[in-house]
Amino acid sequence: MVATRINGTEDFISPGENGDFIEHDPAQVATVLRRLCEHPQHLKIMGANARERVEMNYTWDRIAQMTEDAYLAHLNSPN
């Protein structure tokens, strides 16, 4: 996975382990993509790591529980 640091991607991506971050800079994007293309075996490993993280942490039951917890925390806040 290649993504910018927005909308929670920081919670999912561990650079070099299951993806990489890019900036809004064409030269930096090209550098990251070139590095990934030059190491296809590492790319496969990162893909497998990303899938494993999703399967462990982002099941429908887990997401539903996280959503419920967020709503309950908001409803129980003093604001």
- Per-residue model confidence as pLDDT tens digits over 14-42: 999 999 999 999 999 999 999 999 999 99
Q: Tens digit of pLDDT for each residue in 44-60? A: 999 999 999 999 988 99
Q: Structurally, how many domains does the chain consist of?
A: 1
Burial class (CB in 10 A: 0-12, 13-18, 19+), 22: middle
User: What range defines the domain where residue 44 resides?
Assistant: 2-75
Phi, psi of 44 (to 5 degrees): -65, -40
Give dist(CA 39, CA 56) in Å, integer. 26
Domain of 11, CATH number, reads 3.40.50.2000
